[in-house]
Chain A
Amino acid sequence: MSGEPVDPLADPRDRGGPRQPLLTVRGLVKHFPVGKNILGRSTNVVRAVDDVDFDLLKGETLGIVGESGCGKSTTARLLMHLIEPDRGNIIFDGEVVGQELSLREYRRQVQMVFQDSYASLNPRLTIEDSIAFAPQVHGVSRRESLNRAHDLLSRVGLEPNRFAGRYPHELSGGQRQRINIARALALEPRLIILDEAVSALDKSVEAQVLNLLLDLKDAFGLTYIFISHDLNVVRFISDRVMVMYLGKVAEIGTAGDIFDRPAHPYSGALLSSMPAMDPDARTLEAPLYGDPPNPINPPPGCRFHTRCTAVEAVCSKLEPQLAATSTNQQVSCLKYQPGSGHSAAPPALEAAE
């Protein structure tokens, strides 16, 4: 990669300065109706994403982890507005998406890379046409967008002269995922959502693509949301990590804090499911028992209380709120919520801190 890293704050589109988060998500809710009665009214809802709040800082990589079904991918699709949220606001650099900032303009600045590298490329389009499609939608001439496609191909490590005219089925999985990354870059976005973008690749290719992502982040001044179930990969690439459980944020904090000092009992259990590299440090006990509860009827109170090791009576009654345990770590657990009634909780604070 050539040139100095680009500072994301040097982007002429930047408005709020370094202190303003690139993306602020408040109260994001998506419930999917399931099962309809005879009148066509749904009888149940899957609470796929239930009141999710987080901030994404400029130039950082936020990892989102959790078991399957915890709402990671739904969150990604909501952020991309591929599905409409039931409630909640997405604020991009100070502007509410869909109100002050039009969806079309938002999508110019936020792009997404999907997990299935084959399904996310049109089998009937050549590589260059696939990459050049988005700029043409936004009014760039065909010639110029093809030039941009060739330039991006070389930026993602594929020889444009060899690959531009090919079809997706002629490439390997790793090459296709590079194409998908190039396509996401074609609109010169500021934020890229990577939804399990490297999960389908084998380990050596995965490492190459991860390094490519880091290079591109510097070169284009990007911000990433990196969704994965692979904790090692998340630890490698993320600055901050958000742990989700059953559609809610369990814990959010810097990667170092989450991986070394997980506060939420679920984070701890999730991390201990990582196989240890040291055979002496291997765990014989399963960190958690049982499956996640059904998101159609999530348990009352704290959603994790059915599997939690620190469960107390209050956990099934009171729903925990995200509370800061340190300047850069927030946990949604009654153990850390002042005055919650949990035996480990700190005493209630007075109004003034």
Chain B
Amino acid sequence: MVVALEGKAVVAPIQVSEGYWRGVMRRLSRNPVAMIALGIIVLLILMAVLAPYLAPADPVKGSMLRRLRPVGTPGYPLGADELGRDMLSRLIFGARLSLFMGVTPVLMAFVIGSGLGIFAGYVGGKLNTAIMRTIDIFYAFPSVLLAVALSGALGAGITNALVSLTIVFIPPITRVAESVTTQVRNRDYVEAARASGAGGVTIVRVHVLGNVLSPIFVYATSLISVAMILASGLSFLGLGVKPPEPEWGLMLNTLRTAIYVNPLVAALPGVMIFITSISFNLFSDGLRSAMDVRS
């Protein structure tokens, strides 16, 4: 029953299963919805990077004579805003700040929150209770209120808005990280690693990280759209981006007075936010199922 190795002259090449990430890519590429979402995200990023070349007009140069032109006006394919600035150019340039404001705080919160959550989840006991109850304090505030309060305390400006948004997103990411780590920590393979005499850091590096980072990452991607909307809220209150900088959230808010005059133009920044956030959501959804090795 046990295969003896003696006398085996034929050395077959080792059959290697495809690597983990290669498998994820293959499964992801077979998911049409996720691929379309990814395509839109790539287009948005390209649009942000190439904004000066794509935009037909200066996004901040206005004209009181051409205020609130409807969609389709010659020279203004998507109309003009309440100060007569070209909407198309403003939407293209707006992608820069909006994407930046959406992605950066989530990225920073992902790094800090996962670190905190994995530590709390793996160590457990009183330290876990201390960390998680502290995190819970932040949960007592609605996220918008917390962001506004923090930004207000730190002072207006993009940097402070980013810092306050990061602080807003650390608690939910820590929560998710802590709960998946607690689950993984009690699996038999972690027990087996402990039984082999490995230390905590080695076990986390080899056995825990690989199994917890993907669910946390998927959750974090779904927060990007929330971050964009919160960032626009801060801009509206004068705590984030300041006019005349083009940013979708800010544009949506300044155009709200024109909703009865020219509803289509007023809705356009909202449409951009919607497309971006749903693309990130659908992509993270696809990523979640592609990361499940058993599928």
Of residues 47 to 106 in A, which have CB atoms within 8 Å of B's CB atoms? 80, 82, 103-104
Q: Across the two chains, which residue of chain A brings its CB closest to B197?
A: A107
**Does B73 lie at the interface of the complex (its beta carbon under 8 Å from any beta carbon of A)?**
no
Task: Pick the contact of A215: B2, B16, B199, B207 (CB < 8 A).
Answer: B2
The digit string for A110-121, where 1 denotes a CB below 8 A from any CB of B, is 011010100111
Question: Within 8 Å of chain A (Cβ to Cβ): is B5?
Answer: yes
A183 at interface, CB cutoff 8 A: yes
* Chain A contacts for B199, CB-based, 8 A: 137
Q: Kindly list chain A residues whose C-beta atoms are within 8 Å of the C-beta of B15.
A: 161-162, 165-166
A157-B2 contact, Cβ under 8 Å, with A119-B187, A124-B20: yes
Residue pair B1, A114 in contact (C-beta under 8 Å): no
Most chain A beta carbons < 10 A, residue from B16, B196, B207: B196
B32 interface contact, C-beta 8 A: no
Question: Is A212 touching B2 in the complex (CB atoms < 8 A)?
Answer: yes
Interface contact A134-B198, CB-CB below 8 Å: yes
Interface window among B6-14, B43-51, B170-178: B6-14
Q: Would A167 and B194 be within 8 Å (CB), given that A123-B293, A124-B210, A157-B3 are in contact?
A: no
Contact of B261 with A by CB under 8 A: no
Closest to B4 in A: A2
Q: Is the CB of B14 within 8 A of A164?
A: yes
Cβ-based interface call for B63 (8 A): no
B192 on the A face (CB < 8 A) = yes
Q: Which of A106-162 contact B (CB under 8 A)?
A: 107-108, 111-112, 114, 116, 119-126, 130, 133-134, 137-138, 151, 154-162
Q: A137 and B188 in contact (CB under 8 A), knowing A123-B211, A161-B12, A164-B14?
A: no
| Selected contact of B207 from candidates A122, A151, A212, CB within 8 Å | A122
Residues in chain B near residue A215, CB distance under 8 A? 1-2
Asked whether any CB of chain A lies closer than 8 Å to the CB of B193, the reply is: yes
Asked whether A125 lies within 8 Å of B206 as measured between CB atoms, the reply is yes
List of B residues within 8 angstroms of A169 by Cβ: 293-294
Residues of A close to B191: CB separation below 8 A = 82, 114, 120
| Bound Cα distance from A124 to B6, whole angstroms | 32
CB-CB under 8 A from B20, the residues of chain A are 124
Among B1, B4, B5, B189, point to the contact of A122 (Cβ < 8 A).
B189
Q: When the two chains form their complex, are residues A82 and B2 in contact, meaning their CB atoms are under 8 A apart?
A: no
User: A44 interface residue, CB < 8 Å from B?
Assistant: no
Structural contact, B14 and A111, CB atoms closer than 8 A? no
In the bound assembly, the distance between CA atoms of A103 and B196 in angstroms comes to 10
- Check if A187 is an interface residue, CB within 8 A of chain B: yes
Is there a chain B Cβ closer than 8 Å to A274's Cβ?
no
Q: Which residue of B17, B192, B197, B202 contacts A170 across the interface (Cβ within 8 Å)?
A: B17
Does B195 belong to the interface (CB within 8 Å)? Answer: yes
As a 0/1 sequence over residues 269 to 295 of chain B, the CB contacts with chain A under 8 angstroms (1 = contact) are 000000000000000000000000110
By beta carbon, the residue of chain B nearest A2 is: B4
**Contact among A1, A183, A187 with B4 in the assembled complex (CB-CB below 8 Å):** A1
Question: Does the CB pair B211–A183 fall under 8 Å?
Answer: no
Bound-complex Cα distance A133 to B211 (A)? 16
Residue A325 interfacial (CB < 8 Å): no
Name the residue on B nearest A207 (C-beta): B1
Point out the residue from A120, A158, A161 that lies within 8 Å of B14, measured CB to CB.
A161
* B6–A2 touching, CB < 8 Å: yes
- Chain B 194-234 near chain A by CB (<8 Å), digits 1 or 0: 11111100100011001100000000000000000000000
The complex places the Cα of A296 from the Cα of B13 at a distance, in Å, of: 57
**Chain A residue with the shortest CB-CB distance to B184:** A122
Does the CB pair B1–A166 fall under 8 Å?
no
Nearest CB in chain A: distance from B172 CB, A: 25
Question: CB distance B16 to A120 under 8 Å?
Answer: no
* Contacts known (A116-B188, A165-B15); A124 close to B196, Cβ less than 8 A: no
B17 touches A166 (CB 8 A): yes
User: Which residues of chain B are within 8 angstroms of A137 by Cβ–Cβ distance?
Assistant: 193, 196-199, 202
Asked if B195 and A133 sit within 8 Å, CB to CB, the answer is no
With A and B bound together, what is the CA distance between A332 and B221 in angstroms? 61
Contact status of A114 and B17, CB under 8 A, knowing A134-B198, A137-B197, A169-B293: no
Known contacts A125-B206, A137-B198; decide if A120 and B192 are in contact (CB<8 Å).
yes
Closest-by-CB residue of B relative to A155 is B2
Report Cα–Cα, A215/B12, bound state, in Å.
Answer: 26
Q: A121-B189, A166-B17, A211-B1 are in contact. Are A134 and B196 (CB under 8 A)?
A: yes
Q: State whether A119 and B189 are in contact (beta carbons under 8 Å apart), knowing that A111-B195, A166-B15, A215-B2 are contacts in the complex.
A: yes
Chain B contacts of A172 at CB under 8 A? none
A150 CB to closest chain B CB, in angstroms? 9
Q: Of all chain A residues, which has the CB nearest B207?
A: A122
A154 cross-chain contacts in B, Cβ below 8 A? 2-5
Among residues 59 to 97 in chain B, which have CB atoms less than 8 Å away from a CB atom of chain A? none
The 5 closest A-B pairs by CB, nearest first: A134-B196, A165-B16, A120-B188, A124-B210, A107-B197
By a beta-carbon cutoff of 8 Å, the part of chain A in contact with chain B is 1-2, 80, 82, 103-104, 107-108, 111-112, 114, 116, 119-126, 130, 133-134, 137-138, 151, 154-162, 164-167, 169-170, 180, 183, 186-187, 208, 211-212, 215
Can you list 9 pairs linking A and B with CB atoms under 8 Å apart? A2-B4, A107-B197, A122-B210, A130-B189, A134-B197, A151-B5, A154-B5, A155-B2, A159-B3
Kindly list 7 other residue pairs between chains A and B, CB separation below 8 angstroms, not including A112-B192, A157-B1, A186-B196: A1-B4, A2-B4, A119-B188, A124-B293, A134-B193, A154-B3, A208-B1
